[in-house]
Amino acid sequence: MNIDGVPYRTVWLDGSTVKLIDQPLLPHTFAIHDAPTPAATADAIRTMVVRGAGAIGATGAFGIAQAALLARDADFHAEVAQAASLLAATRPTAQNLFYGIRAVMHAIEAQGDDLSAARQAAVAAAQEVADDDAACCEAIGRHGAPLLEDGMGVGTHCNAGWLAFVDWGSALSPIYAAHRGGTRLHVWVDETRPRSQGARLTAFELGQEGVPHSVIADNSMGAWMRRGQVQAVIVGSDRIAANGDVANKIGTYAVATMAAANGIPFYVAAPTTTIDPDCPHGDDIPIEERGEDEVAWTWGWSDEGRFLRVRTTPAHSRCRNLAFDVTPAALVRGILTEHGLVPASPEGMARVMRRPGPPQG
């Protein structure tokens, strides 16, 4: 991840403090957020200081390692378990969060009552979750770049780039790899209301990388497809069911439907940690509903240089705010994983899905 030419990761552990790029401040201000306790780390996930499947997963893993480092010897296992419950309760849809928590908990439990070894194992396991996420996303870029031909227009939805993972990203990783390899692309970035992760974060990333792009209104993607400006769509995912159904940011289903209507391939990019082997079907994925304020109000910079919240709906109007929707596997051309492109089908998912901890038997 390059910010003004300086390499960063989205989240890392510094001593017992979890450090994160403060995403709600982007694209106007770049700052690092410090979370000194597991409660603060959980709050950073809940309030979307950090967001995106892989980044949330690594943050959850670092939060468990943080709890292990800070827990008192007399109450070690109880305090770590309490932190795990707190972290797991933050965002219900992102599968990577639960994967990261379980991976570090397995490492701690394997050490029994050797608390020194448990603390070391927790830090090592959390770092492994983060490193694995970055490596998987880099591999997704290598496998996905050949799908993008010179001169293509590529549509995307929400943010599944550097900021949504530890590094590289999922949906944007093939774009970065192709761009660095000399392939000329133009990315169509929809706003992604209500939090505008496309307009704020994806556009910020692409600008830092020098990738040509246009920010478009959410309801205009279909028009650009019909005008022949979009030849492929790549999105990320927060959870993939065992049958290949995909949960992603609200609005993804609409983009996939428009892509199908226009004969445009619709790809989902995600590391295999996003696949939930215990979730048979997309209808079984828990869908988070967030507060009304995210729909009723928006944030931005005024002409006077102030960062302001303004209301965009009538004060008496109630709002509903689904954070995710489910795209049926039938609309997905393929799922780009660290192992390459696999079918969005039960057979494809069974071939690549994995679980943390001891081998399953």
Instruction: Mark which of 86, 121, 139 sits at the end of a domain.
Output: 139
Please pick, among 132, 167, 218, 238, the residue that the annotation labels catalytic.
238
> Please, what's the b/e burial string for 140-151 (b: 16 or more CB within 10 A of its CB; e: otherwise)?
bbebbbebbeee
pLDDT of residue 357: 52
Phi-psi region of 195 (alpha: psi -120 to 50; beta: other; left: phi over 0): alpha
pLDDT of residue 307: 86
Specify whether 154 is located in the same domain as 190: yes
- Whether residue 20 is predicted with pLDDT greater than 80 in this model: the reply is yes
- Whether residue 361 is predicted with pLDDT greater than 80 in this model: the reply is no
Residues 6+ apart with CB under 8 A from 255: 155, 157, 190, 221, 233, 235, 266
**Per DSSP, what are the bridge partners of residue 206?**
none
| 354 pLDDT tier (thresholds 50, 70, 90) | confident
- Whether residue 111 is predicted with pLDDT greater than 80 in this model: the reply is yes
pLDDT of residue 305: 86
pLDDT of residue 5: 83
If one counts the domains in the chain, the total is: 2
* Amino acid, single-letter form, for residue 125: A
DSSP sequence for 280-312 = -SGGGS---B--THHHHEEEEE-TTS-EEEEE-
Specify whether 26 is located in the same domain as 171: no
Q: Is 322 part of any domain?
A: yes
- Whether residue 358 is predicted with pLDDT greater than 50 in this model: the reply is no
> How far apart, in whole angstroms, are the C-alpha atoms of residue 151 and residue 255?
21
Residues 6+ apart with CB under 8 A from 305: none
With pLDDT > 90 as the criterion, what percentage of the chain qualifies? 93
- Whether residue 31 is predicted with pLDDT greater than 80 in this model: the reply is yes
Q: Any idea what the CATH number is for the domain that residue 67 is in?
A: 1.20.120.420
pLDDT in tens, 234-274: 999 999 999 999 999 999 999 999 999 999 999 999 999 99
Catalytic site residue 238? yes
- Whether residue 8 is predicted with pLDDT greater than 70 in this model: the reply is yes
Specify whether 156 is located in the same domain as 98: no
Residue located via tokens 């240089």: 305
Residue 177 backbone phi and psi in degrees, to 5: -65, -45
Specify whether 128 is located in the same domain as 78: yes
The SS3 of residue 201 is helix
pLDDT of residue 288: 96
Instruction: Mark which of 139, 167, 182 sits at the end of a domain.
Output: 139
Specify whether 158 is located in the same domain as 288: yes
The SS3 of residue 18 is strand
Q: Is 357 part of any domain?
A: no
pLDDT in tens, 147-164: 999 999 999 999 999 999
- 206: containing domain: 140-352
Question: Are the C-beta atoms of 325 and 251 separated by less than 8 Å?
Answer: yes
Question: Are the C-beta atoms of 347 and 262 separated by less than 8 Å?
Answer: no
The arithmetic mean of pLDDT across residues 38-51, rounded, is: 97
pLDDT of residue 168: 96
pLDDT in tens, 225-243: 999 999 999 999 999 999 9
Q: Is 49 part of any domain?
A: yes
Instruction: Mark which of 139, 173, 205 sits at the end of a domain.
Output: 139
* Strands 32-35 and 17-21, bridge-based pairing: antiparallel
| 356 pLDDT tier (thresholds 50, 70, 90) | low
> How far apart, in whole angstroms, are the C-alpha atoms of residue 160 and residue 270?
9
Q: Is 358 part of any domain?
A: no
Q: Which of 42-56, 313-327, 342-356 has the lowest mean pLDDT?
A: 342-356
With pLDDT > 70 as the criterion, what percentage of the chain qualifies? 98
Specify whether 300 is located in the same domain as 168: yes
- Whether residue 359 is predicted with pLDDT greater than 90 in this model: the reply is no
pLDDT of residue 3: 87
